[in-house]
């Protein structure tokens, strides 16, 4: 039963988190390449491009944190208080005791 529940959770969160993590992976590769090649160059354009890629990587890390936090709250709310959580509400306790 736990395997089935986890399968549905991974499917529900994977639809959103896999593209977000893919964007993070792409920006991390770009930031790595900018650290290795672009920031050491003497050209103004290439050093500015390297700084922009590193900044984009920082924003991507922050974005993954925010998206995962919002998704975690949304999944908790759906699993407890909406149609997916109908079994939880059959227990003879209040909502505050569930949490």
Domain extents in the chain: 2-89
Instruction: Give the range among 8-12, 47-51, 83-87 with minimum mean pLDDT.
Output: 83-87
Token couple for 10: 């991974």
pLDDT band at 86 (very low <50, low <70, confident <90, very high): low
Residue 66 has pLDDT above 90, yes or no: yes
pLDDT score, position 81: 74
The residue whose two tokens read 């969160």 is 13
pTM: 0.73
Start-to-end Cα distance in the chain: 22
The predicted structure's pLDDT at residue 56: 94
Cβ-contact 59, 9 below 8 angstroms: no
């Amino acid at each position: 039963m736990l395997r089935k529940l986890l399968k549905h959770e991974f499917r529900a969160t994977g639809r959103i988190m896999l593209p977000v993590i893919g964007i993070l992976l792409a920006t991390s590769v770009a930031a790595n390449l900018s650290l290795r090649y672009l920031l050491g160059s003497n050209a103004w354009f290439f050093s500015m491009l390297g700084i922009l890629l590193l900044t984009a990587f920082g924003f991507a890390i922050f974005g993954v944190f925010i998206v995962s936090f919002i998704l975690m709250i949304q999944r908790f709310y759906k699993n407890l208080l909406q149609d997916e959580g109908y079994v939880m509400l059959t227990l003879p306790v209040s909502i505050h005791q569930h949490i």
